[in-house]
Structure 1
């Protein structure tokens, strides 16, 4: 999985001492997961810590350039989506402290 990520230069595992990667398998097709990811204001339906997500730039779903805010575990953040490939990639940068985070959706070997 590590080789599938479009790493920001400063977090590239080949050159950076600091990076993080979490990888989970979900028994759902990428299209199903994608619909949940881009519906940011409803993230709290399956992740209760994300109960204060607000899209600031007017869209109903997040996409390239979308600005949104969220409070996670009491920590307020302002974010901008920097990569959006429907059903495949979603990444954003946190404008408060510069963190960069993303999702990579890929179909598993069993088509799940």
Structure 2
């Protein structure tokens, strides 16, 4: 039986088939509903101290929902993404592509007695990931942790690591 906080991986993107896999987690003192409001507002992500991040919604309105297409660009990646999983206040995931690299990024929000636990995981495969797997996970992990801390700040005002 699957734990609620586990990502529901499409087989193609499963970590066992990917060169790069990063998982990060944080607990915050806010319920999933509060966190969710900030997570799905992708065009606002760059304002969260992600100065080298750009998000452009390509289809739909300014919040992510199932089948929303968007461009997500950081200082070292530029993916065209589609939201493939959306369960209100619980699960959000998108797949993306840049050249020969395929990626999958998932979020799971699970209620706790004091707020919620946020888990984010991503995988990459194809293209040069057979080579970048030696340095990209460290960068990606730092990016995830920064993203989680900023999501906490947006939702609660301050956050402990």
Query: Structure 1 residue 80 and structure 2 residue 82: aligned?
Result: yes
Bigger proportion of residues as helix: 2
2:47: which partner in 1? 45
Runs of 5+ unmatched residues, structure 2: 117-161
Once the two structures are superposed, residues 8-51 of structure 1 have per-residue CA deviations (whole angstroms, 9 ceiling, x without a partner) of 224545x4475321111122110111000111000122242464
Alignment of 1:19-58 (within 5 A): 19-49=21-51, 51-58=53-60
TM-score where L is the length of structure 2:
0.60
Q: Secondary structure at the match of 1:32?
A: helix
Runs of 5+ unmatched residues, structure 1: none
TM-score where L is the length of structure 1:
0.83
The answer on whether the counterparts of 1:70 and 1:77 sit within 8 Å (CA) in structure 2 is yes
- State the distance in 2 between where 1:88 and 1:32 align: 11
Aligned length: 111
Q: Quickly say closer, same or farther: Cα 1:9–1:76, change in 2 above 3 A.
A: same
Alignment of 1:4-19 (within 5 A): 4-12=6-14, 15-16=16-17, 18=19, 19=21
Query: Structure 1 residue 105 and structure 2 residue 102: aligned?
Result: no
- State the distance in 2 between where 1:26 and 1:109 align: 11
Once the two structures are TM-superposed, the CA of residue 3 in structure 1 deviates from its matched residue by: 6.0
The answer on whether the counterparts of 2:13 and 2:103 sit within 8 Å (CA) in structure 1 is no
Bigger proportion of residues as strand: 2
RMSD (CA atoms): 2.3
